[in-house]
């Protein structure tokens, strides 16, 4: 088995009558001494951790907060359920965003999360997956299949570009997570093998060039709210493809473009905390306050 690009994988799946999940599971088996049941069991565990992180993040009694951000996920969740959202954001979208915020709030309090693909983008997959499960009555088994597909997409991006903010900016973290969630979401909704990667291309294009500029070097600001944008981006990409839209630029070429953009990005915009909003007057103030305590 191989991880090269989406075209090669799609062709292989076509020739061998395999689904993306089948391919991803076979690939994992080729790397491991575990059998398929053990590998599946591990992925069910990851799904359980994702759901647990959402539950814990929405529970204000769990306590704890970040060095900068407060616990606000439950407030957003309540707004979604009480029809308090603004006209431009529906309750389903806002509820999904609250799930992602919850995971990020668990992360900043040193709780247990799944870094998929990184801690800085860890809210996107759980939020999109749980939102789709609630909206389409998907089984946990289908979500686990989706996690394998998401991992496959992440492996393609990591192999041809990067999933690290320190190397490619936030486009490589939140952008990659959004692409992973979009492709996996379309797979879970039984979209054609030849269509799912259009969702990944759209999601990744929408965040092309996004810098990584964490205030005080912490995975808090702007990371939490960028997860919210990544979640919204994924869900929009899924809806666009399900409505018949495609990406004019193929997924693999978008990944190549992201790498070139990341390579050209100055170091101050790649997770060093020296550029972007980290270098604003308020960002510098937070940095001095946190590290002088």
Residues 222-242, mean pLDDT to the nearest whole number: 97
Cβ atoms of 18 and 29 closer than 8 Å: no
Residue with tokens 């951000």: 69
**Burial (CB count <10 Å: 0-12, 13-18, 19+), residue 137:** exposed
Q: Among 224, 222, 204, which residue's Cα sits nearest to residue 269?
A: 222
C-alpha 280/C-alpha 286 separation (Å) is 10
Which structural domains are found in the chain, ordered by start?
Answer: 6-292 (1.10.4100)
| % of the chain residues with pLDDT over 70 | 97
Neighbours of 49 (CB within 10 A): 14
Cβ atoms of 95 and 81 closer than 8 Å: yes
pLDDT digits (tens, 9 = 90+) for 89-140: 678 899 999 999 999 999 999 999 999 999 999 999 999 999 999 999 999 9
Arithmetic mean of pLDDT over the chain: 95
Q: How is residue 270 written in tokens?
A: 């790649």
C-alpha 206/C-alpha 149 separation (Å) is 21
The four Cα atoms 213, 51, 235, 5 give a dihedral, to 10 degrees, of 70
Residue 270 bridge partners (DSSP): 212
Contacts for 67 with CB less than 8 Å, ≥ 6 apart: 108, 216, 218, 220, 286, 290
The four Cα atoms 19, 249, 127, 218 give a dihedral, to 10 degrees, of 130
């Amino acid at each position: 088995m191989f991880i090269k690009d989406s075209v090669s994988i799609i062709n292989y799946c076509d020739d061998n009558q395999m689904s993306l999940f089948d391919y991803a599971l076979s690939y994992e088996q080729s790397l491991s001494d575990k059998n398929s049941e053990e590998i599946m069991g591990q992925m069910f565990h990851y799904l359980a951790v994702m759901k647990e992180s959402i539950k814990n993040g929405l529970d204000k009694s769990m306590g704890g907060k970040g060095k900068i951000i407060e616990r606000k996920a439950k407030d957003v969740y309540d707004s979604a359920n009480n029809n308090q959202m603004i006209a431009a954001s529906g309750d389903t979208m806002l509820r999904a965003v609250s799930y992602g915020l919850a995971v990020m709030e668990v992360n900043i309090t040193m709780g247990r999360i799944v870094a998929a693909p990184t801690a800085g983008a860890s809210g996107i997959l759980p939020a999109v997956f749980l939102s789709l499960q609630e909206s389409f009555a998907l089984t946990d088994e289908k979500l686990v299949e989706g996690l394998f597909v998401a991992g496959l997409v992440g492996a393609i991006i990591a192999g041809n570009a990067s999933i690290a903010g320190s190397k490619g900016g936030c486009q490589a973290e939140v952008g990659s997570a959004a692409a992973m969630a979009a492709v996996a979401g379309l797979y879970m909704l039984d979209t054609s093998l030849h269509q799912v990667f259009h969702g990944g291309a759209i999601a990744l294009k929408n965040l092309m060039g996004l810098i990584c500029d964490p205030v005080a070097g912490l995975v808090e600001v702007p990371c939490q709210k960028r997860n919210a944008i990544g979640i919204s981006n994924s869900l929009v990409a899924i809806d666009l493809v399900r409505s018949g839209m495609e990406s004019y630029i193929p997924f693999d070429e978008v990944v190549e473009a992201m790498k070139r953009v990341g390579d050209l990005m100055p170091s101050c915009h790649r997770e060093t905390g020296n550029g972007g909003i980290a270098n604003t007057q308020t960002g510098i103030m937070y940095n001095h306050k946190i590290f002088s305590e």
